[in-house]
């Protein structure tokens, strides 16, 4: 299904308004959702990773650490029993 725009235009809009590329914007949204879930719900790390749309634990930890500055297990308000494999 066509969206009525092209990838170059979309890329330029994202760069202009969000000062980042599309992949970074998507990961920021996923990390924000992960932070919300960390504060509100008890889920396993694997459930959280899947719910937020990350493909693997290492990708999730990398994106989360880049955006927040700490690994998920050290995030304030963390309700999850994270494994310390990436800490």
15-56 pLDDT per residue, tens: 999 999 999 999 999 999 999 988 887 777 888 899 999 999
Is residue 45 within 8 A of residue 79, CB to CB? The reply is no
Predicted confidence at residue 54, as pLDDT, reads 96
- pLDDT level of residue 79 (50, 70, 90 thresholds): low
Average pLDDT over residues 60-85: 78
Q: What does the alpha-carbon distance between residue 87 and residue 76 come to, in Å, rounded to a whole number?
A: 15
Is residue 68 within 8 A of residue 60, CB to CB? The reply is no
Query: E strand or H helix at 15, and its extent?
Result: helix 7-18
- Whole-model pTM: value is 0.78
């Amino acid at each position: 299904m066509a969206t009525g725009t092209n990838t170059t235009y979309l890329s330029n809009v994202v760069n202009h308004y969000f000062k980042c590329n599309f992949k970074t914007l998507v990961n920021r949204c996923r990390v924000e959702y992960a932070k919300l879930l960390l504060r509100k719900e008890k889920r396993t790390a694997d459930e959280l990773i899947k719910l937020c749309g990350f493909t693997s634990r290492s990708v999730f930890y990398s994106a989360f650490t880049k955006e927040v500055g700490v690994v998920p297990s050290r995030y304030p308000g963390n309700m999850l029993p994270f494994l310390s494999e990436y800490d």
